Amino acid sequence: MQINIKTSEKNQEIVRKLTTKLPYGTKENVIARIALGYSLQTGKKFQTSDFNLYDSKGKEYKDHILFDEKYRDFYIALISQYYGLYKTDEVNIPRYIKLHIDHGLELLDNIFQDNYNYTFFDFLIEYIEKGTLYLTDLNVPLDAVRNNQQHIDKSYYTGSIKINVGSTVEENPQTIYLSLNDTSRYNNCHIAIAGNSGTGKTEFALEFLSQIYEQSNGHVNFIYLDFKGLKQDDIKNREPFFKATKTDFVDVPQMQFPVNPLTFIDNVNEVNKNMGIDKFVDIICKYSNIGIKQKGKLREAVQEAFISQKGGTYPSLSMVNEHLHGLVGDKRDSLTEIMDELSRYKIFIDDPKNESNFLNKNLYLSLSGDLSNSVRFTSLFLIINYIYNVFMNMDNTSVDNAFKAMRYVILIDEAHVLFKEKKYQYILEKILREIRSKGVAVVLLSQGIEEYNQPDFDFSTMCEIAFLLDIKDKNPKVMEKFLGLSGKNVVTLARNMEQIEKGQAISNIKEFEVARKFWIKQYWKRNK
């Protein structure tokens, strides 16, 4: 079987353009192989009716050039397994290969058009790491599920967002600005902040959110996720921030979080509905340590709850719990316990008609420490999943004049709690990797930097912007890695970190001198 193909005429130029991003001398067939693999990785499946989707007027690849003899059988096996074909099918295999090469080239072109500083090495590292996740023991698929019934519309801001992050330490201080969404400087807007308690990182984060909201004229909203919960004195101290940014303070369980976590599911299309139900069940089971048998009962209860609803309405968690008790009777276990708690405390609103849209508001979520850890973390990940799934069902935001349009900011306080548990790491990594294209930035606050670097993944590598305040462990190599700096900066970095004061930071932002400390903006100083 000979596999001789031609790309589309449109993709011929894309092949040439993408090849220039690889080391000098790399042949164009390498791009074709990468495009093929990337297209398959996305899960795209073509039908026989798609065979004429692309013309054949572009770059020609001969069989032995396209794959090289030593890789040929490997790619044929991929296509054969993917489409359930026999390896000698000389009619369909070449056609599917051409489709996926053309499709992959289009996808790659879009990626690099939207990310000016993004290199092919960045791309390869990202997707090789992503692929290795499937070799771990994580058997819960937390990918976004399709929802054709999603009605939520989220505004966005297309202009420059230039944040005043602080000032120099000189006698005549100079203001330091961060061009947050400038793609000519940064590939993403994710931010890692590390600092001991009392160093000023929370006030810096509040100032940061305030400026984003103000500069975007309220189009870029945010959610502040606080694990430990605010005490009464803290709430009072936050009131100026809440008022100025029009932020709703949600004190769970004293207040209900304004979403029904089941409404990310498509309740019309049966295939999408079942996939959504499976994902909801997986989240409950994964983050509350529930076994396989219990998982089956919960899935049945959720399905029954959806069936019982009429007129396209959604069941509540309480309804799911009622159906669950109908299935298990008087038997009590960890599943019934957590569902009872979620229902009893009424952590989420019912919202049967899916009318809530908290993404167009600013929210501060305070999770009371009085709740059990299972309920706190399950609730948190139901919220995170909802946000992730809703945004992944939206179009990518545009890049205009090098500025990436922004929609939303997710700030996670005490993020080190998530870093330590593998089951929490996975969803967080997916969000960092995937949600940036939707105009969403993630801000991570942690007390140290060692928590970012886990055995399976270094979260700081996905946050292009980092701020390092005073920390306990000042290992130069670890600090250097956190900031993404080169070896020549080790001495300067170590010296400045030994002298760092409360309210000061060192950053890797490209608008300021590397490894040099500066005063960070603090929200509490606004009215001083």
Q: Is the pLDDT of residue 132 over 60?
A: no
Q: Is the pLDDT of residue 159 over 80?
A: yes
Provide the pLDDT for residue 203.
Answer: 96
- For the sheet containing 191-194, what is the strand order? 175-179, 162-167, 517-520, 504-507, 465-468, 191-194, 440-446, 408-412, 221-226, 362-367, 247-252
Measured CA distances, 296 to 286, 324, 444 (Å):
13, 11, 35
Q: What confidence category does residue 137 fall into, taking pLDDT thresholds of 50, 70 and 90? A: very low
Rounded distance, CA 19 to CA 120, Å?
Answer: 10
Task: Enumerate long-range contacts of 490-494, CB under 8 Å, 24 or more apart.
Answer: 492/516
pLDDT tens for each residue of 237-279: 999 999 999 999 999 999 999 999 999 999 999 989 999 999 9
pLDDT tens for each residue of 38-59: 888 777 788 888 888 999 999 8
Task: Enumerate long-range contacts of 291-294, CB under 8 Å, 24 or more apart.
Answer: 294/333, 294/334, 294/335
Among 1-10, 211-220, 252-261, 271-280, the minimum mean pLDDT is found in: 1-10
- The CATH class, in words, for 5-114 is mainly alpha
Residues of the chain above pLDDT 90, percent = 49
Q: Is the pLDDT of residue 122 over 80?
A: no
Dihedral sign from CA coordinates of 163, 399, 391, 99: negative
Contact predicate 467/520, CB 8 Å:
yes
Contact predicate 129/457, CB 8 Å:
yes
Residue with tokens 């993403």: 188
Q: From start to end of 181-254, where are the E strands?
A: 191-194, 221-226, 247-252
Question: How many H-runs (helices) and E-runs (strands) does the chain carry?
Answer: 17, 15
Domain boundaries, the chain: 5-114, 185-259+356-525, 261-344
Q: Does domain 185-259+356-525 correspond to CATH entry 3.30.70.120?
A: no
Q: What stretches of 288-365 show up as alpha helix (H) in DSSP?
A: 292-308, 317-328, 334-344
What single-letter amino acid sits at 271? V
Rounded distance, CA 453 to CA 192, Å?
Answer: 12
Dihedral sign from CA coordinates of 459, 460, 466, 470: positive
pLDDT tens for each residue of 415-458: 877 766 666 777 788 888 899 999 999 999 998 888 787 766 67
User: Which tokens sit at 174?
Assistant: 């100079």
Kindly state the greatest CA–CA separation across the chain: 77
The residues, ordered by sequence, that sit 6+ positions from 135 with a Cβ below 8 Å of its Cβ are none
CB atoms closer than 10 angstroms to residue 359: 22
User: Which tokens sit at 12?
Assistant: 């011929």
Q: Is the pTM value of this prediction over 0.75?
A: no
Evaluate the omega torsion of the peptide bond into residue 253 and state whether it is cis, within 30 degrees of 0.
Answer: yes
Q: Interhelix angle for 28-41 vs 92-114, to 10°? A: 90
**Top-ranked range on mean pLDDT: pick from 2-6, 188-192, 446-450:** 188-192
In 3D space, the residue among 300, 281, 289, 456 whose CA is nearest the CA of residue 385 turns out to be 281
What single-letter amino acid sits at 369? G
